[in-house]
Structure 1
């Protein structure tokens, strides 16, 4: 078909997935609030499909104070128990506790680097997003030396549920690695 829109191969026909791919994925994030949102969602996704998390995104927004890292960092054990009953999120105690702990660490990184975005960019060549030129989905790696380095540093700082594969997915989502396939409709708007 001449008018067929070509997207990255991981996008299915779900309107939520298409909207996420076309409007968010791979677009460079420059504000820490959005960066924290993706950190929360990517960490929650560990072991699950991304569409599962996308469908619960609004539940996460409500449960985790609109992705306000300062507010989340103040959550208590009572909040953990409340969240364990919240059907709008993945009710995994370790992930919930990690989100709260990661919020505290996120704030520490902000204080050290001025912003979490600055921290991540400090790992990027010349502080600029990596632009790959993959033709097929099978070429796209699950992790790279870049995600290894960031994940290792974050683990050293105490972050949980942020191994190298999740880190790479995070870098793709926030546009610090452009992995839109070369024939994807979104390729030109992210370069």
Structure 2
């Protein structure tokens, strides 16, 4: 599930976008909730090329499975506190006692499989340092073209690259990295630009133009 799964207002314009009271044009999912609007304006779609940041985003996208991104954003401060700012070395050392402790933390999503996946993903991230590292490993699956959507309905949700990324991460020991989750990741970190053509953020990543 991507942020676009948020409730959409009915004043969707001819380009699938909404003109905000600040004069900026955004997709419907980023036009109502102030938290989602701030996230869209300042973070979503910008490249993440540091290990810690990318590891965090992979894990948070995994925690989102079955939930809304707004829920994850509201809990993000608690997630960062619980997982030591998503420092892979710290999380990789978590024990079964840490798992039980985290499952009692009301600030995060208390799902045993997702908590265990976060620890496993930290360990897999460390292992990848012996090769090209997590960032290079993920970004090698960047497609050669990006969508040009006018409306949300025109955004594809499948591609050979995201399927390959999902499979490759699983091979390396990562969990909760299915194709749907990986497409949300690719959108969020700028590997693809799915900003609607009418949006004020289109092309802002610097990875793609137009």
> Structure 2: how far apart are the matches of 1:34 and 1:47?
22
Aligned mate of 1:42, from 52, 61, 74: 61
Q: Give the TM-score, by structure 2 length.
A: 0.84
Q: Which residue of 2 aligns with 1:167?
A: 182
Q: Is the 8 A contact 1:105 1:157 kept in 2?
A: yes
Q: In the superposition, relative to structure 1, how do residues 171 and 141 fare at CA in structure 2: closer, same or farther (>3 Å)?
A: same
**Counterpart Cα distance in 2 of 1:188 and 1:178:** 7
Structure whose residues are more often helix by fraction: 1
Residue by residue over 1:21-53, the C-alpha shift from the partner in whole angstroms, topping out at 9 and shown as x without a partner, is 111110011211111110111010011111110
The reply to whether residue 7 of structure 1 matches residue 26 of structure 2 is yes
Provide the rounded CA distance (Å) in 2 between the counterparts of 1:188 and 1:170: 17
Q: What corresponds to 2:112 in structure 1?
A: 93
Residue matched to 1:27: 46
Post-superposition offset of 1:85: 0.5
1:121: which partner in 2?
A: 139
CA distance in structure 1 between the partners assigned to 2:151 and 2:71 by the alignment: 24
Stretches of structure 1 that go unaligned for 5 or more consecutive residues are none
**Residues 27, 175 of structure 1: 8 Å contact kept:** yes
- Counterpart of 2:4? none
The secondary structure found in structure 1 opposite 2:148 is coil
User: Structure 1 segments of 4 or more deviating over 6 A?
Assistant: none
Superposition deviation, residue 107 in structure 1:
1.4
Task: Report if aligned partners of 2:142, 2:192 keep a CA contact under 8 Å in 1.
Answer: no
Q: Per the alignment, in what secondary structure is the counterpart of residue 204 of structure 2?
A: helix
- In the superposition, the TM-score normalised over structure 1's length comes to 0.92
Query: How many residues in Structure 1 have an aligned counterpart in Structure 2?
Result: 187
Do the aligned residues in 1 keep the contact of 2:117 with 2:174 (CA within 8 Å)?
yes
Q: Secondary structure at the match of 1:162?
A: coil
